[in-house]
C-alpha cells in the first residue's frame, strides 16, 4: 500500500485534530442501514442517539445539515414488503409513505431539544439549473442563520435517479444520497462531510476486512488514487443502494471543494461527537485544491445531455495543459444537445474524465467532427468547448 497517500489508524490522531479543529458547518449523511434494524423496523434508540449528538453540535455553535436516507426502507416496512420492490411505481410509493414516518421521528426527536427542523426534498433540476442551484444555496444559508436544522433527501416520489437500477440514469446529477450530501456540502461551503454507514471505514485489503477484528481501517487518506478506489467493495443490500464505491465518488466531490470527509460507523454510539473531537475513528479524507464555483457546478452539479469521445492527444492537452477542446481531437459524438448544454468528455475506454459546456448543438458539432482549425474558419467558434468551460473530474 502507498503510505504517502494513506495511513493506518495508529498514526492518525494528531493530524485529525488539526484537520477538524475549526469545523463550523457540517453535513451529516446517514444511511438506511444505520436508521433501521435487520428486520426493517426503525432503530429508534440509535436514531435518537444521533439526534442527541447533532443537537449537541448545535448547542456548541456548529451548524448542521442532515442528509437522510431511509424513506424507501420505512415505506417497505409499513407496506410489509419482504424485499426491495422492483417496480418503479412501488419504490416511489414506498418513498412517499416512508418519508412521512422518517420526518415525524426526526421532528419529535429534535423538538425535545427545542431545535426547529426543515424538510428539503430535492430533485435533479435543483442542481442542473444553475439558477435553482444558487437559489437553493440562499435558502439553506437563511435556514442556518435562523438556527434551523435542515433535513435533506432526494424527492424519490417524483425523482427517479436514485431508485432506478444502475445505468438507467445516464447523465444524472446524483445517483444516491452519498453524492447528494457531497453536493450540499460543496454548495454551503461546509467544513466537513460526515458519512455514517455500517462499516468502520475504508479498508486497505478486501471488502471483508471489517469482519476481521484485528484489521483496522485506514485512518487518513490524502489523495483518492486508483489504488484507493480499488479498495472499495459492493456493500449494497435489499433495503439500501450504494456502497463504498458510491461513498468514494461523493468524497471526490467534497475534497475537490476543499472539504474534508470522514467515513465512520454510524452504529457506534456517540460517533459524531468522537469525530468532531478529533478521535481516531473511521477514515478521514483530506481536502485537495478547491475548484472554482462555476467549474464545480459543471463537473458535479450539472446534468449532461450528450457525450463526446476524444483522442489521447486531445485528452492530454486538456488534462496536462488546460487547453480548449478542438474538433480535430474529437472521435465521436452522441446525444441530442444544444449550444450551452453540458456534455460528458470520455476517453477511448468510455471513462468520463471531464465535462464541458458546448459551443455548438449536436448537429453542428457532428458536421465539424475531426476538422482542423483552417477548415472551420467560417464557423462561429474555433473551439468545440473553450477551456474556461471545461471542468476535470477527480
Measured between alpha carbons, how far is 226 from 196 in angstroms, rounded to an integer? 23
The answer to whether 192 and 23 have CB atoms below 8 angstroms apart is yes
Give the position of cell 467534497: 254
CATH fold of 6-295:
Carbamate kinase (3.40.1160)
Judge whether residue 10 has pLDDT over 50. Answer: no
* pLDDT tens figures, 209-248: 455 556 789 999 998 888 888 887 655 554 445 578 889 9
Residues facing residue 151 across a β-bridge: 66, 119
* pLDDT tens figures, 130-151: 778 788 889 999 999 999 999 9
Ranges for all domains in the chain classified under CATH 2.30.130.10: 304-392
Helix (H/G/I), strand (E/B), else coil: 201: coil
Strand arrangement, sheet containing 352-357 = 330-335, 306-310, 342-346, 352-357, 390-392
Q: Where are the alpha helices (DSSP H) in 221-361?
A: 226-229, 244-255, 271-276, 293-296, 312-321
What would you measure as the largest C-alpha separation in the chain, in angstroms?
70
Judge whether residue 12 has pLDDT over 70. Answer: no
* pLDDT tens figures, 173-191: 555 789 889 989 988 889 9
Q: What does CATH list as the number for 304-392?
A: 2.30.130.10
The answer to whether 178 and 242 have CB atoms below 8 angstroms apart is yes
Give the position of cell 480535430: 328
Write out the DSSP string of 357-393.
E-SS-HHHHHHTTT--GGGGTTSS-S-SB-GGGEEE-
Ranges for all domains in the chain classified under CATH 3.40.1160.10: 6-295
What is the model's pTM?
A: 0.77
Per-residue pLDDT, 291: 66
Q: Closest by alpha carbon to 390, among 334, 321, 325, 303?
A: 325
Judge whether residue 7 has pLDDT over 80. Answer: no
Helix (H/G/I), strand (E/B), else coil: 292: coil
Per-residue pLDDT, 172: 54
Mean pLDDT, the chain, whole residue set: 84
Per-residue pLDDT, 310: 94
Residues facing residue 391 across a β-bridge: 355
The answer to whether 379 and 368 have CB atoms below 8 angstroms apart is yes
* pLDDT tens figures, 31-76: 999 998 888 788 999 999 999 999 999 999 999 999 998 888 888 8
- For residue 293, what are the CA distances in angstroms to 236, 296, 382, 385, 389? 32, 5, 26, 18, 12
Amino acid at each position: 500500500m502507498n503510505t504517502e497517500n494513506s495511513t493506518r489508524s495508529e498514526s492518525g490522531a494528531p493530524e485529525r485534530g488539526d484537520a477538524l479543529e475549526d469545523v463550523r458547518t457540517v453535513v451529516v449523511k446517514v444511511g438506511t442501514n444505520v436508521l433501521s434494524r435487520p428486520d426493517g423496523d426503525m432503530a429508534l434508540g440509535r436514531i435518537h442517539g444521533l439526534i442527541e449528538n447533532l443537537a449537541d453540535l448545535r448547542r456548541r455553535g456548529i451548524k448542521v445539515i442532515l442528509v437522510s436516507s431511509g424513506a424507501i426502507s420505512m415505506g417497505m416496512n409499513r407496506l410489509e414488503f419482504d424485499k426491495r420492490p422492483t417496480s418503479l411505481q412501488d419504490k416511489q410509493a414506498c418513498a412517499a409513505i416512508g418519508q412521512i414516518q422518517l420526518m415525524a421521528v426526526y421532528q419529535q426527536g429534535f423538538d425535545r431539544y427545542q431545535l426547529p427542523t426543515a424538510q428539503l426534498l430535492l430533485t435533479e433540476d435543483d442542481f442542473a439549473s444553475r439558477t435553482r442551484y444558487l437559489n437553493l444555496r440562499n435558502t439553506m444559508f437563511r435556514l442556518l442563520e435562523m438556527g434551523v436544522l435542515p433535513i435533506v433527501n432526494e424527492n424519490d416520489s417524483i425523482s427517479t435517479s436514485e431508485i432506478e437500477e444502475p445505468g438507467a440514469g445516464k447523465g444524472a446529477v446524483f445517483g444516491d444520497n452519498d453524492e447528494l450530501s457531497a453536493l450540499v456540502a460543496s454548495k454551503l461551503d461546509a467544513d466537513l462531510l460526515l458519512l455514517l454507514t455500517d462499516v468502520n471505514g475504508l479498508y486497505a485489503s478486501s471488502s471483508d476486512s471489517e469482519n476481521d477484528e484485528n484489521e483496522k481501517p485506514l485512518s487518513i487518506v490524502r489523495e483518492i488514487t486508483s489504488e484507493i478506489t480499488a479498495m472499495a467493495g459492493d456493500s449494497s443490500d435489499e433495503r439500501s443502494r450504494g456502497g463504498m464505491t458510491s461513498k468514494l465518488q461523493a468524497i471526490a466531490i467534497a475534497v475537490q471543494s476543499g472539504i474534508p470527509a470522514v467515513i465512520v460507523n454510524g452504529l457506534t454510539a456517540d460517533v459524531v461527537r468522537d469525530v468532531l473531537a478529533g478521535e481516531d475513528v473511521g477514515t478521514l479524507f483530506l481536502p485537495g485544491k478547491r475548484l472554482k464555483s462555476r467549474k464545480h457546478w459543471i463537473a458535479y452539479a450539472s446534468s449532461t445531455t450528450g457525450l463526446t469521445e476524444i483522442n489521447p492527444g486531445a485528452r492530454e492537452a486538456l488534462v496536462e495543459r488546460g487547453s480548449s477542446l478542438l474538433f480535430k481531437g474529437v472521435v465521436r459524438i452522441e446525444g441530442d444537445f444544444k449550444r450551452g448544454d453540458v456534455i460528458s468528455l470520455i476517453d477511448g475506454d468510455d471513462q468520463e474524465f471531464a465535462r464541458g459546456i458546448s459551443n455548438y448543438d449536436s448537429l453542428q458539432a457532428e458536421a465539424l467532427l475531426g476538422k482542423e482549425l483552417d477548415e472551420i474558419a467560417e464557423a462561429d467558434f474555433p473551439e468545440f468547448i473553450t477551456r474556461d468551460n471545461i471542468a476535470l473530474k477527480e
